A and B are shown apart, each in its own frame.
Chain A
Amino acid sequence: MPNSHPSPESVLPPSPDDTLGGLEWTPLRRKRLDKVRQALQAADVAGLLLYDPINIRYATGSRNMTVWTLHNAVRYCFIATEGPVILFDFHGCGHLSRGLGTVDEVRPAIAWFYFGAGARGPEKAKQWAAELADLVQRYGGGNKRLAIDRCDPPGSFALRDHGLVLEEGQALMEVLRAIKLPEELELIRQSMVVCEAGMARMQDALRPGLSENELWSLLHETNIAKGGEWIETRLLTAGSRTNPWFQESSDRVIRPGELVAFDTDLIGPFGYCSDVSRTYFCGPGKPSARQKELYGLAYEQIETNIPLFRAGRTAREIAEAAWRIPDRFLPYRYGSLAHGVGLCDEYPRIAHDIDFAASGFDFVLEPGMTICVESYIGEPGDSEGVKLEEQILITEGEPVNLSTYPFEAALLPARWV
């Protein structure tokens, strides 16, 4: 590698105090990598090829232009089941992964997607596949099975031409990511601190005349300023734009008396996701009875469902025992009852009872899973809706709330206060 000088003051540790025990990064990175290796052994594959930057982050702790590499296949990581971790990185980026304790070798990536390779794509895909097939041969001991998380058709065909059998790498990674290490829980809490700081800034700033975008920009600013990474969506709306859900933050100006609903979908510091939803009321004035009714129902859904999440319960049991969404709110129900969360939204997902046959799948909750419990309450044809979401940790006993941001006392019907 050309050019390396240490950057002694480069990045603060999570606890910027030399008199306190901070988190030790190298052991955390190695523990995550160990989990990957164990899963590879169990899956009886020669190795794993990762393209998803979120998987690469988990397996190695290495990061490079994450959002850009979600759609530009310029870096990938080969993890031999028995053998080295080889990171293939973008041009001139070897210095980014030095000293991580997880990456044995950095090689230049071969890009075969159209922006990178133009008409030479097929030639580059062949060259890429040959290098990977060589690694599988060297470290696979005759095993031709390669797990892969993401791969577009030219790459799939090129690997198959070498006699490799492609196995599902995304499932392998998401299942092992589902159970969090104690250190990961600490990082999730740090991410949540930043997320909640941004939520508080939005709540402090909320005034009539602000646009949805202006309000939403405060969460972005806080996240980045405090070391966070990106925000997955733009789900903040006001007034009639809160119903139906999934309308995106816009230039729409917020008016007095409106609900403002949002879903953070925030990838915070250390790459961990804080996925919380809240609904605020924009004063001056007091919430209407209708607004309180909607909020109360969403609150009831969340608070009824959270205690169901205990180790040993199955997704189907939870779906069957969950709060019954009143018929008038069923058409606009949220897409899932709950879903996993870690470095992003991830496995598992729990479908509503009504959707279970079409799109649900079963699994058993385990201690160490982190789950987002969802609610959207909005009626077709009505003017507003309420979005709430809590992030929890599964234990043998009561689930632990990871999000501590309060609900809105002014919006809760009297029976909940």
Chain B
Amino acid sequence: MAPEAPQPPFTPSPDARRAASVAMGRSDTEAGLDLAALRSERLARVRAEVKKRDLAGVLLYDPINIRYATGSRNMSVWTLHNAARSCFVPAEGPVVLFDYHNCDHLSEGLETVDEIRRSTSWYFFSAGWRVEEKVQKWADEIDDLLRQNGGDNRRLAIDKCDPAGTWALEERGVALSDGQEVLEQARLIKSDLELQAMTHAIAVAEIGMERMREALRPGMSENELWAILHRENIARGGEWIETRLLAAGRRTNPWFQECSAHLIRPGDLVSFDTDLIGPFGYCADISRTFHCGPGKPNETQKRLYGLAYEQIETNIALLRPGLTFREISEKSWTLPASCTPNRYSVVMHGVGLCDEYPSIYYAEDWDAAGYDGVIAAGMTLCVESYVGEVGGDEGIKLEQQVLITERGVERLSRFPYEEDLLPARWL
């Protein structure tokens, strides 16, 4: 008998991914998601980026970056605006988490964290009149860490740091660079384990979307409808929602009006963008437009929906590894002139633990804001559309979350489009 050929590495199909995500940790008879492996491969990616730049290390304050690098979480939204915890990841050597008062137990057992210290907080709410004293103490601690880990290497990347900290590190001869760039590059390519976690987050978002769709009735407020997505997300282990982008009727145009006590009326369009941080901290960023019955959508609503659909589907079809951001911008579907002034901010953007690098801008915005780069397998992107005419009554928001593969593109968001709103030629 011939010896067995070596097995190719196992790459689960999208369906296998979904199956794995449903089973996540819920059964002792299936492997479930290997969270320790997820954490360690993410930390390895951060260290690789730190080494690539010949940095002594990176100091992280953004809770989303700390989560990526270590898997540790503590009051994520609150710490987005209270610099109460940080994490030092050296090129080599121990990862030190500086945590809030009496919070060590939260990161116990995380193999990614070598040491937990009490954070020296110098933001004003915590330090009050002692900001200057605390910032000097903090800078001494960081300086010590650098000397222990980096030797003569004084190059430190930092993701978020207010001026007092910047000057204190500069005085100590620390050469600061942008830590957000380091982490965004580390986070750019998703591993298979990350895709399993993200798929689970998307499944939770889609349940919430379906509950909203079922509940949609005239007389509900936008807020009451939006509350359902929050409830389903939290009940199923999700974390938070970044925005409040759900609007009905005329409040859908222009876009970016925020969810309110406005009452939804029969025949209104209801447009929303989930911007949902789900279970495991992964983002499900999907947009849809529903029609509130009773009654059928009118021709204008269907025409606009058809345009948004065409934009999304045309732009998804472009995607493949090797394409540049500029090529996407140039080749992407052209909005009718009546809708151009109200265009969305980007054609597409990266997504992972939140909206992330890259932003791929419209050709109209390229000179002002556009930057180039190359699409690669393993990137996850949200492909965007907003179609609303200047002076028009309503607007359509659609958005799909996709994965770039070696062969092209795979859809991560599966929530159907609205057949009632699609013009006949798309059915």
Contact = CB atoms under 8 A, between A and B. Distances in A.
Contact of A52 (B77, B81, B357): B81
B73 interface: yes
B163 A151 contact: yes
Interface centre among A10, A54, A114, A230 (most CB of B within 10 A): A114
Nearest to B83: A150
A314 B158 CA distance: 37
B159 to A, nearest CB: 8
A84 interface: no
Given A67-B80, A154-B178, A246-B100, A7 B345 contact: no
Interface string A1-30: 011110101111000000000000000000
Interface stretch (A35-43, A118-126, A253-261, A282-290): A118-126
Contact of A68 (B166, B227, B343, B355): B355
Nearest to B262: A10
B183 to A, nearest CB: 9
Interface centre among B162, B233, B372 (most CB of A within 10 A): B162
Nearest to B78: A232
B81 A9 contact: no
Interface residues of B, number: 97
A322 interface: no
Interface string B65-104: 0000000011101101110000000000000000011110
Contact of B164 (A68, A157, A168): A168
A224 B254 contact: no
Q: How large is the interface on A (under 10, 10 to 19, 20 to 34, 35 or more residues)?
A: 35 or more
B275 A68 contact: yes
Interface stretch (A135-143, A210-218, A301-309, A394-402): A210-218
A230 B240 contact: yes
A400 B129 CA distance: 27
Contacts of B129: 361-363
Contact of A346 (B125, B245, B253, B255): B125
B77 A232 contact: yes
Contacts, number: 255
A72 interface: yes
Interface stretch (A85-93, A179-187, A365-373, A406-414): A85-93
A68 B356 CA distance: 11
Contacts of B176: 153
A344 B77 CA distance: 12
Given A120-B371, A217-B230, A221-B227, A361 B128 contact: yes
Contacts of A7: 250-251, 257, 262
Contacts of B399: none
Contacts of B282: none
Contacts of B226: 224-225
Interface string B312-349: 00000000000000000000000000000111110001
Nearest to B361: A91
A71 B124 contact: no
A388 to B, nearest CB: 17
A245 B261 contact: no
Interface centre among A119, A156, A218, A251 (most CB of B within 10 A): A156
A345 B242 contact: no
28 contacts: A9-B262, A11-B260, A67-B242, A91-B365, A92-B254, A92-B256, A113-B180, A151-B163, A152-B162, A156-B167, A170-B123, A213-B234, A216-B234, A221-B227, A221-B228, A221-B230, A223-B230, A224-B230, A224-B244, A225-B226, A225-B227, A231-B77, A231-B240, A250-B237, A344-B81, A347-B125, A361-B128, A361-B129
Q: 4 tightest CB-CB pairs across the interface, nearest first? A: A361-B128, A118-B371, A225-B227, A217-B235
Interface of A: 2-5, 7, 9-12, 52, 54, 63-68, 70-72, 90-93, 95-96, 111, 113-121, 124, 148, 150-154, 156-157, 166, 168, 170-171, 174, 211, 213-214, 216-218, 220-227, 229-235, 244-251, 265, 331-333, 335, 339-340, 344-349, 359, 361-363
Given A3-B391, A363-B128, 10 more contacts: A68-B275, A95-B256, A116-B359, A117-B369, A118-B357, A157-B166, A216-B235, A217-B234, A349-B125, A349-B128
